[in-house]
Amino acid sequence: MVKIQLKKSVDKYNSGLYNNPACICVYFLCSFLRITGVYSLDKEETRVVIDVHSHILPGVDDGSKNPEVSRKMLEIAAEEGIEAIIATPHFEGGMTEKFLSRREKAFELTSAMAAEMDPPIKMYLGNEIFYGESAIEALENGTANTLNGTDYALVEFPVYSEFSYIEKAIKNLIYAGYIPVIAHIERYEGMKKKYQVEELKKHGAVMQVNASTVTGGMGWGIKRYVLKLMKAGLVDLLGTDAHGVNRRRPEIREALSVIDKKVGREYRILISEENPEKILRGENISGKVGI
Protein backbone atom coordinates (compact mmCIF):
# COMPACT_ATOMS: atom_id res chain seq x y z
CA MET A 1 0.00 0.00 0.00
CA VAL A 2 2.73 2.40 1.00
CA LYS A 3 4.69 1.47 -2.07
CA ILE A 4 1.69 2.16 -4.35
CA GLN A 5 1.19 5.59 -2.81
CA LEU A 6 4.86 6.33 -3.14
CA LYS A 7 4.80 5.23 -6.79
CA LYS A 8 1.81 7.50 -7.45
CA SER A 9 3.53 10.50 -5.96
CA VAL A 10 6.68 9.79 -7.98
CA ASP A 11 4.54 9.55 -11.13
CA LYS A 12 2.89 12.83 -10.20
CA TYR A 13 6.26 14.45 -9.66
CA ASN A 14 7.41 13.20 -13.03
CA SER A 15 4.33 14.54 -14.82
CA GLY A 16 4.48 17.82 -16.77
CA LEU A 17 2.72 19.69 -13.98
CA TYR A 18 5.51 19.19 -11.48
CA ASN A 19 8.21 19.81 -14.04
CA ASN A 20 6.81 23.24 -14.74
CA PRO A 21 8.91 25.82 -12.79
CA ALA A 22 5.94 28.19 -12.48
CA CYS A 23 3.83 25.48 -10.82
CA ILE A 24 6.67 24.61 -8.46
CA CYS A 25 6.98 28.28 -7.49
CA VAL A 26 3.23 28.54 -6.79
CA TYR A 27 3.40 25.34 -4.71
CA PHE A 28 6.24 26.64 -2.55
CA LEU A 29 4.61 30.07 -2.19
CA CYS A 30 1.36 28.45 -0.95
CA SER A 31 3.32 26.28 1.48
CA PHE A 32 5.15 29.34 2.81
CA LEU A 33 1.92 31.27 3.28
CA ARG A 34 0.34 28.33 5.10
CA ILE A 35 3.35 28.03 7.41
CA THR A 36 3.38 31.76 8.15
CA GLY A 37 -0.34 31.82 8.78
CA VAL A 38 -1.17 34.39 6.09
CA TYR A 39 -2.99 31.94 3.85
CA SER A 40 -4.98 30.48 6.71
CA LEU A 41 -6.50 33.90 7.41
CA ASP A 42 -8.16 33.89 3.96
CA LYS A 43 -11.87 34.61 4.04
CA GLU A 44 -12.79 31.08 2.91
CA GLU A 45 -11.01 29.51 5.84
CA THR A 46 -12.31 31.64 8.68
CA ARG A 47 -15.68 31.61 10.40
CA VAL A 48 -17.06 34.66 12.12
CA VAL A 49 -14.52 36.68 14.06
CA ILE A 50 -16.21 38.27 17.07
CA ASP A 51 -14.81 41.25 18.96
CA VAL A 52 -15.94 40.76 22.56
CA HIS A 53 -14.70 44.07 23.95
CA SER A 54 -15.36 47.40 22.25
CA HIS A 55 -16.12 51.00 23.18
CA ILE A 56 -17.76 51.67 19.83
CA LEU A 57 -21.03 53.20 21.04
CA PRO A 58 -20.97 56.99 20.52
CA GLY A 59 -21.05 59.45 23.40
CA VAL A 60 -21.46 57.04 26.31
CA ASP A 61 -17.92 56.67 27.66
CA ASP A 62 -14.30 57.52 26.77
CA GLY A 63 -14.61 55.55 23.51
CA SER A 64 -16.24 56.80 20.32
CA LYS A 65 -17.01 60.51 20.61
CA ASN A 66 -19.82 60.68 18.04
CA PRO A 67 -21.68 58.61 15.40
CA GLU A 68 -19.16 59.54 12.70
CA VAL A 69 -16.30 58.05 14.74
CA SER A 70 -18.43 54.93 15.35
CA ARG A 71 -19.03 54.59 11.60
CA LYS A 72 -15.28 54.84 10.90
CA MET A 73 -14.60 52.28 13.62
CA LEU A 74 -17.12 49.94 11.98
CA GLU A 75 -15.39 50.42 8.60
CA ILE A 76 -12.03 49.52 10.14
CA ALA A 77 -13.58 46.50 11.90
CA ALA A 78 -15.10 45.29 8.60
CA GLU A 79 -11.71 45.62 6.87
CA GLU A 80 -10.15 43.66 9.71
CA GLY A 81 -12.57 40.78 9.13
CA ILE A 82 -14.65 41.37 12.28
CA GLU A 83 -18.25 40.31 11.64
CA ALA A 84 -19.74 40.69 15.10
CA ILE A 85 -19.02 43.09 17.96
CA ILE A 86 -20.15 43.11 21.57
CA ALA A 87 -20.37 46.78 22.53
CA THR A 88 -19.03 47.05 26.06
CA PRO A 89 -19.23 50.67 27.26
CA HIS A 90 -17.76 51.35 30.69
CA PHE A 91 -20.14 50.97 33.58
CA GLU A 92 -19.55 52.34 37.04
CA GLY A 93 -21.94 52.59 39.95
CA GLY A 94 -24.29 55.56 40.19
CA MET A 95 -25.16 55.94 36.52
CA THR A 96 -28.41 57.84 35.91
CA GLU A 97 -31.55 56.86 34.00
CA LYS A 98 -30.65 59.54 31.46
CA PHE A 99 -27.33 57.83 30.83
CA LEU A 100 -28.98 54.43 30.46
CA SER A 101 -31.44 55.65 27.83
CA ARG A 102 -28.53 57.32 25.98
CA ARG A 103 -26.75 53.96 25.97
CA GLU A 104 -29.80 52.24 24.45
CA LYS A 105 -30.13 54.88 21.73
CA ALA A 106 -26.41 54.71 20.95
CA PHE A 107 -26.68 50.95 20.59
CA GLU A 108 -29.66 51.21 18.20
CA LEU A 109 -27.87 53.79 16.08
CA THR A 110 -24.62 51.79 15.93
CA SER A 111 -26.49 48.57 15.11
CA ALA A 112 -28.19 50.29 12.16
CA MET A 113 -24.84 51.56 10.84
CA ALA A 114 -23.24 48.14 11.39
CA ALA A 115 -25.93 46.48 9.27
CA GLU A 116 -24.90 48.71 6.36
CA MET A 117 -21.27 47.56 6.39
CA ASP A 118 -19.92 45.28 3.69
CA PRO A 119 -20.06 42.60 4.95
CA PRO A 120 -22.64 43.55 7.60
CA ILE A 121 -21.53 43.50 11.22
CA LYS A 122 -23.81 42.13 13.91
CA MET A 123 -23.96 44.12 17.13
CA TYR A 124 -24.58 42.81 20.62
CA LEU A 125 -24.79 44.72 23.88
CA GLY A 126 -22.84 44.34 27.08
CA ASN A 127 -20.85 46.46 29.50
CA GLU A 128 -17.35 46.61 30.88
CA ILE A 129 -18.18 46.82 34.56
CA PHE A 130 -15.70 48.49 36.86
CA TYR A 131 -15.88 46.18 39.85
CA GLY A 132 -16.92 47.85 43.07
CA GLU A 133 -19.38 47.51 45.92
CA SER A 134 -22.42 48.22 43.74
CA ALA A 135 -21.43 46.07 40.72
CA ILE A 136 -23.50 43.03 41.64
CA GLU A 137 -26.51 45.12 42.59
CA ALA A 138 -26.27 46.91 39.20
CA LEU A 139 -26.16 43.55 37.42
CA GLU A 140 -29.14 42.31 39.39
CA ASN A 141 -31.31 45.37 38.75
CA GLY A 142 -30.34 45.41 35.06
CA THR A 143 -28.59 48.79 34.94
CA ALA A 144 -25.30 46.99 34.16
CA ASN A 145 -25.51 44.65 31.18
CA THR A 146 -24.08 41.18 31.03
CA LEU A 147 -22.75 40.08 27.62
CA ASN A 148 -25.78 39.72 25.33
CA GLY A 149 -28.04 39.07 28.31
CA THR A 150 -26.21 35.88 29.32
CA ASP A 151 -24.63 35.07 32.69
CA TYR A 152 -21.24 36.29 31.41
CA ALA A 153 -20.23 39.67 32.87
CA LEU A 154 -17.17 41.54 31.59
CA VAL A 155 -15.43 43.11 34.59
CA GLU A 156 -12.35 45.25 35.06
CA PHE A 157 -10.29 46.26 38.09
CA PRO A 158 -7.84 49.03 38.93
CA VAL A 159 -4.47 48.15 37.36
CA TYR A 160 -2.75 47.99 40.75
CA SER A 161 -5.24 45.40 42.09
CA GLU A 162 -3.65 42.64 44.09
CA PHE A 163 -4.45 39.01 43.49
CA SER A 164 -6.49 38.64 46.70
CA TYR A 165 -8.76 41.55 45.71
CA ILE A 166 -9.43 40.11 42.24
CA GLU A 167 -9.95 36.63 43.69
CA LYS A 168 -12.52 37.90 46.19
CA ALA A 169 -14.38 39.81 43.47
CA ILE A 170 -14.46 36.73 41.24
CA LYS A 171 -15.83 34.60 44.09
CA ASN A 172 -18.50 37.23 44.85
CA LEU A 173 -19.63 37.37 41.22
CA ILE A 174 -19.77 33.59 40.93
CA TYR A 175 -21.66 33.32 44.21
CA ALA A 176 -24.18 35.82 42.82
CA GLY A 177 -24.72 33.59 39.78
CA TYR A 178 -22.54 35.31 37.17
CA ILE A 179 -19.60 34.08 35.12
CA PRO A 180 -16.94 36.79 35.35
CA VAL A 181 -14.98 37.58 32.21
CA ILE A 182 -11.87 39.44 33.31
CA ALA A 183 -11.12 42.24 30.83
CA HIS A 184 -7.51 42.60 29.62
CA ILE A 185 -5.98 40.27 32.22
CA GLU A 186 -2.50 41.40 31.23
CA ARG A 187 -2.94 44.76 32.96
CA TYR A 188 -3.32 43.83 36.61
CA GLU A 189 -0.59 43.70 39.18
CA GLY A 190 -2.20 40.64 40.75
CA MET A 191 -2.27 38.65 37.51
CA LYS A 192 1.32 39.01 36.36
CA LYS A 193 2.13 35.40 37.24
CA LYS A 194 0.89 32.36 35.40
CA TYR A 195 -0.15 30.55 38.60
CA GLN A 196 -2.41 33.49 39.52
CA VAL A 197 -4.25 33.22 36.21
CA GLU A 198 -4.50 29.44 36.72
CA GLU A 199 -5.96 29.94 40.19
CA LEU A 200 -8.62 32.41 39.02
CA LYS A 201 -9.48 30.15 36.12
CA LYS A 202 -9.99 27.27 38.54
CA HIS A 203 -12.55 29.42 40.36
CA GLY A 204 -14.43 29.76 37.05
CA ALA A 205 -13.26 33.13 35.66
CA VAL A 206 -12.95 33.62 31.91
CA MET A 207 -9.82 35.35 30.62
CA GLN A 208 -9.78 38.08 27.95
CA VAL A 209 -6.62 39.52 26.39
CA ASN A 210 -6.40 42.62 24.19
CA ALA A 211 -5.37 42.17 20.56
CA SER A 212 -2.98 45.13 20.79
CA THR A 213 -1.05 43.38 23.58
CA VAL A 214 -0.45 40.38 21.32
CA THR A 215 1.18 42.70 18.78
CA GLY A 216 3.44 44.33 21.36
CA GLY A 217 1.34 47.37 22.38
CA MET A 218 2.25 46.92 26.06
CA GLY A 219 5.84 46.01 25.35
CA TRP A 220 7.80 42.92 24.49
CA GLY A 221 7.72 41.39 27.98
CA ILE A 222 3.90 41.49 28.28
CA LYS A 223 3.53 40.19 24.73
CA ARG A 224 5.73 37.22 25.65
CA TYR A 225 3.69 36.69 28.84
CA VAL A 226 0.30 36.56 27.07
CA LEU A 227 1.67 34.19 24.43
CA LYS A 228 2.95 31.99 27.24
CA LEU A 229 -0.54 32.03 28.81
CA MET A 230 -2.05 31.12 25.44
CA LYS A 231 0.38 28.24 24.97
CA ALA A 232 -0.76 26.96 28.37
CA GLY A 233 -4.41 27.24 27.27
CA LEU A 234 -5.20 29.92 29.86
CA VAL A 235 -6.65 32.62 27.59
CA ASP A 236 -10.28 32.28 26.50
CA LEU A 237 -11.03 35.40 24.50
CA LEU A 238 -9.42 38.05 22.35
CA GLY A 239 -10.91 41.56 22.13
CA THR A 240 -9.83 44.85 20.60
CA ASP A 241 -10.91 47.12 23.49
CA ALA A 242 -11.22 49.69 20.69
CA HIS A 243 -11.80 53.30 21.71
CA GLY A 244 -11.54 55.26 18.45
CA VAL A 245 -9.85 55.63 15.08
CA ASN A 246 -6.62 57.42 15.96
CA ARG A 247 -5.43 55.27 18.82
CA ARG A 248 -6.85 52.01 20.21
CA ARG A 249 -8.44 51.18 16.86
CA PRO A 250 -10.61 48.08 16.28
CA GLU A 251 -7.72 46.11 14.81
CA ILE A 252 -7.40 42.37 15.25
CA ARG A 253 -5.94 40.84 12.06
CA GLU A 254 -2.29 41.25 12.97
CA ALA A 255 -2.89 39.72 16.42
CA LEU A 256 -4.67 36.75 14.83
CA SER A 257 -1.69 36.26 12.54
CA VAL A 258 0.73 36.34 15.50
CA ILE A 259 -1.38 33.76 17.38
CA ASP A 260 -1.49 31.59 14.26
CA LYS A 261 2.29 31.59 14.04
CA LYS A 262 3.23 31.45 17.71
CA VAL A 263 0.44 29.36 19.23
CA GLY A 264 -1.47 27.72 16.42
CA ARG A 265 -4.43 28.08 14.13
CA GLU A 266 -6.79 26.01 16.29
CA TYR A 267 -6.16 28.18 19.31
CA ARG A 268 -6.66 31.35 17.26
CA ILE A 269 -10.05 30.06 16.11
CA LEU A 270 -10.93 29.00 19.66
CA ILE A 271 -10.39 32.42 21.25
CA SER A 272 -11.60 34.65 18.41
CA GLU A 273 -14.50 32.62 17.02
CA GLU A 274 -15.59 29.51 18.95
CA ASN A 275 -15.53 30.78 22.54
CA PRO A 276 -17.11 34.17 21.66
CA GLU A 277 -19.91 32.32 19.84
CA LYS A 278 -20.54 30.18 22.91
CA ILE A 279 -20.57 33.25 25.12
CA LEU A 280 -23.14 34.96 22.91
CA ARG A 281 -25.32 31.88 23.20
CA GLY A 282 -24.71 31.65 26.96
CA GLU A 283 -23.04 28.26 26.67
CA ASN A 284 -20.37 26.98 29.00
CA ILE A 285 -16.82 27.33 27.72
CA SER A 286 -14.99 26.03 30.78
CA GLY A 287 -13.21 22.75 30.35
CA LYS A 288 -12.93 23.25 26.62
CA VAL A 289 -10.10 25.73 26.66
CA GLY A 290 -6.65 24.54 25.82
CA ILE A 291 -4.58 23.24 22.98
Q: Taking CB under 5 A as the rule, does residue 128 contact Fe ion?
A: yes
Per the CB < 8 A criterion, the answer to whether 87 and 114 are in contact is no
Whose Cβ is closer to Fe ion: residue 37's or residue 63's?
63
Q: Is the peptide bond before 119 cis (omega within 30 degrees of 0)?
A: yes
Per the CB < 8 A criterion, the answer to whether 146 and 178 are in contact is yes
Where helices occur in the chain by DSSP H, the ranges are: 2-14, 16-19, 21-36, 67-79, 97-115, 135-140, 163-175, 194-203, 211-214, 220-231, 253-262, 265-269, 275-281
Whose Cβ is closer to Fe ion: residue 41's or residue 139's?
139
Tell me the number of residues near Fe ion by CB under 5 A: 2
Minimum Å gap between C-beta 289 and Fe ion is 22
Minimum Å gap between C-beta 128 and Fe ion is 5
Minimum Å gap between C-beta 55 and Fe ion is 6
Report the distance separating Cα 275 and Cα 21, nearest Å: 43
Residues 178-237 binding Fe ion (CB under 5 A) are none
Please report, for residues 12, 54, 75, 227, the alpha-carbon distance to residue 249 in angstroms, rounded to integers and kept in the order given. 48, 10, 11, 21
CA 142 from centroid of its chain's CA atoms: 24
Count of CB atoms situated within 10 Å of the CB of 23: 12
Whose Cβ is closer to Fe ion: residue 138's or residue 269's?
138
Minimum Å gap between C-beta 4 and Fe ion is 58
Q: Taking CB under 5 A as the rule, does residue 241 contact Fe ion?
A: yes
Of the ranges 29-37, 40-48, 125-133, 164-172, which one interacts with Fe ion (CB under 5 A)? 125-133
Minimum Å gap between C-beta 264 and Fe ion is 27
- Name the residue whose CB lies closest to Fe ion: 241
Whose Cβ is closer to Fe ion: residue 237's or residue 263's?
237
Chain residues binding Fe ion by CB under 5 A are 128, 241
